Amino acid sequence: MKTAVVYYSHHHGNTKKLLDALPEDVTLLEAEGKETDLSAYDRIGFASGIYGGSFAPQVLEFAKKYLPEGKDVFFAATAAMKLKGHFKAIRRVCEGKNCRVLGEYLCQGYNTFGPFKLVGGTSKGHPTKEETDAFRAFYDALG
């Protein structure tokens, strides 16, 4: 099964740490990259840190522009706080393109945004080895 993951991992590289746990045959594509034809992939993942309660705008725009209709998709995110609503916007984009959502993975990520920088950040040390291992298990279970 040919898989690509479109991602945005900016502040501390938290999301990229998760993706580094994936098998080498998974194609990683930065959301800020050039126009990309995703039609050759059987399964497409979208991964992002959480910014203002949602996926990065770069990932959402990439999905709107380049995600083909009817693909199997999955989501991964790192966030200072684990809340269910983090996947709402990316799910809406993918479902609008008649894609089948295979699953969602969320773990904590080190955060120094805004006032949190003054106190040294939150969720220090995240994602942990256990969280990256759990992400790999989540991916492997997708089939």
* Structural domain of 114: 3-141
Measured N-to-C along each axis, helices 57-66 and 88-96 cross at an angle, to the nearest 10 degrees, of 10
CA gap 18, 11 in Å, rounded: 14
Two structure tokens written together for 113: 């945004």
Q: How many domains would you assign to the chain? A: 1
**Cα→Cα distances 127→34, 49, 64, 92, Å:** 28, 11, 28, 26
pLDDT (tens, 9 = 90+) of the chain, 143 residues, equals 899 999 998 766 788 999 999 999 999 999 987 788 999 999 999 999 888 788 999 999 999 999 999 999 999 999 876 667 899 999 999 999 999 999 999 986 655 454 444 444 445 656 789 989 999 999 999 97
Q: For position 89, which CATH number holds?
A: 3.40.50.360
